[in-house]
A and B are shown apart, each in its own frame.
Chain A
Amino acid sequence: MLSSADLDTLLLTFKVASMATTIMLLVGTPLAWWLSRTRSVWKGPINAIVALPLVLPPTVLGFYLLVLMGPAGIIGKFTNWLGLGTLPFTFYGLVVGSVLYSMPFVVQPLQSAFAMIGKQSLEAAATLRASPFDSFISVVMPLAKPGFITAAILGFTHTVGEFGVVLMIGGNIPDKTRVVSVQIYNHVEALEYTDAHWLAGCLLLFSFTVLLVLYTQIKSSPIAQPFK
């Protein structure tokens, strides 16, 4: 069975993932919209930066974040100046790391969903008196709904499963930064295979169920499935 320490790590994991997903959707939506529309020379570099975590070892990303967010890093100096202290080994540090790490899983489905919405729908909205912001809310968001669902699910599940970045910047502090993936590692290190099985099984079941829903319930829309 799951011990109360295990349940705490599950709860913490879902808290991190929920907050990170919310931030990713808030930041990723305008970013994906800009990327899907712009002809700017910055499109290529920004796309590359957003996609970087897809190929970069999580420990590399974690290492740089640790340095940047530490007391001597730019981000660390800034957060200190704001009176927030430094972010590594805190809950919010974990959220920041997760946002950067999972961002491509949110931006890319949104970007392809937005790209599929032609210029025509926006022109129709403009001729019907909708301002650009209004038409984004009333036309783009409903038409891109499958993209938003995919983005939220992938962003959330990917954050739940992260390990490398967490270990680098979050460490292993109970109730603060000890998430499920780290807890499984702890169990295995301590040769507690039964406990590891329980947690690993939970994550496997969760991830499979979510993907099953994603691929069966909204199969009608091509933009819902980024990894066909």
Chain B
Amino acid sequence: MTLIKASFKLNYGDFKLDVNLKLPSTGVSVLFGDSGSGKTTLLRCIAGLEQAPQGYLEINGAIWQDSEHNIFLPTYKRPLGYVFQDANLFSHLTVLGNLHYGLKRVRNNLGLIKLNQTIALLGISHLLERMPNNLSGGERQRVAIARALALNPEILLMDEPLASLDVKRKQEILPYLSRLHQQLDIPVVYVTHSQQEVAQLADTLVILEDGHILASGPLSETQSRLDLPLAQDRVATTVWQVTIAEHESDYHLTRVAFDGGSLSLPAVDGNIGTALRVQIYARDVSITLAEPNATSILNVLPAVISQLIEGRDSQAVVQLQVGKQLLLAHITRKSLLLLGLQIGMPVFVQIKGTSILN
């Protein structure tokens, strides 16, 4: 499954990048970090827009860079799609001209079919004759995504595609990205500093800090690692992949199943078996030793404490195993001590709230 192998070393004065990374060949890999962490530079190295003096890059068996053997495939020979932070459309071409620009240069008879699908998927068919300067930021970014996808690339690289948009525009595009996520069969490498986008889109999470990789792995595993700053964050979450099991229309609820149990959520549209992402904030999870028999909280699940740390102040963070899923709970240090919580203890978790991400 590991079909993207990347390792780069470069040094720009006071900025150093030194990474060694393996990513799966499917799903969305999010490069997450603060500005200056090197996530965009890493993406640009993958695209060949930046040439790391020492680098090795292999995508699905094809070598794009191998500095030891003096191999460096220029960007225009790499079968990739790239979405820039500020859309970066050609201002002298119409939307359709922009979409056709790359298409004309790949000899690929799938192109036009792919393009029409992409236009429909991103909802831009009414914009085709317009000039980029007459589009809103959100529309421009959707065109840019379509332009990259129309190439039928082997990998899609996205550099903070939502960062330059206001909250409203972000909400306008996120659903399209989620749809892409479900329908694309190519790997996506997505750069962001937004935890919301991580929760919504990531399958694999790579955390960068000061030019090196702090952690990398499947989303929920990485999210719930207590040795990383993410788990201590005020808005720490775990994202679960679930499927719709049953609609309880009397109560306007939907029952969703995960590996090892089920949850009740506010009613969601969708057929039985539809996959969903559910986000659970650590601050919405509480722990009891005995099974509560009279509680207003619907989602009470048996769990086993797998890790815990006492925070510096009043906080403690507990990592729990629920079925095969990992879950984070933020509780007070006092409760931790009063309940005598320890690794390996069977407990019950009460989940006060959940949010559905797609």
Contact = CB atoms under 8 A, between A and B. Distances in A.
A135 B152 CA distance: 20
Interface stretch (A19-27, A116-124, A157-165): A116-124
Given A121-B90, A139-B90, A130 B105 contact: yes
A212 interface: no
A7 B272 CA distance: 89
B101 A128 contact: yes
A138 interface: yes
Contacts of B47: 127
Contacts of A203: none
B92 interface: yes
Interface residues of B, number: 24
Dominant SS among interface residues on chain A: helix
A125 B148 CA distance: 11
Contacts of A121: 88, 90
Interface in A200-227: none
- Among A123, A127, A135, A139, the one with the most B-chain Cβ atoms within 10 Å of its Cβ is A127
Contacts of A135: 76
B76 A131 contact: yes
Given A121-B88, A143-B91, A128 B105 contact: yes
Nearest to B103: A128
A127 B105 contact: no
A191 B249 CA distance: 106
Given A123-B49, A124-B84, A138-B101, A129 B91 contact: no
A139 to B, nearest CB: 6
B151 A128 contact: yes
Interface residues of A, number: 18
Given A120-B88, A121-B88, A143-B91, A127 B74 contact: no
Interface in B22-68: 47-49
B184 interface: no
A127 B77 CA distance: 9
A143 B93 CA distance: 10
Interface in B62-117: 74-77, 80-82, 84, 86, 88-92, 101-102, 105-106
B147 interface: yes
A57 interface: no
A123 B75 contact: yes
A192 interface: no
Interface of B: 47-49, 74-77, 80-82, 84, 86, 88-92, 101-102, 105-106, 147-148, 151
Per CB-CB distance, the 10 closest pairs between chain A and chain B, nearest first, are A128-B102, A127-B82, A129-B105, A126-B75, A142-B92, A124-B88, A126-B76, A120-B88, A129-B76, A128-B101
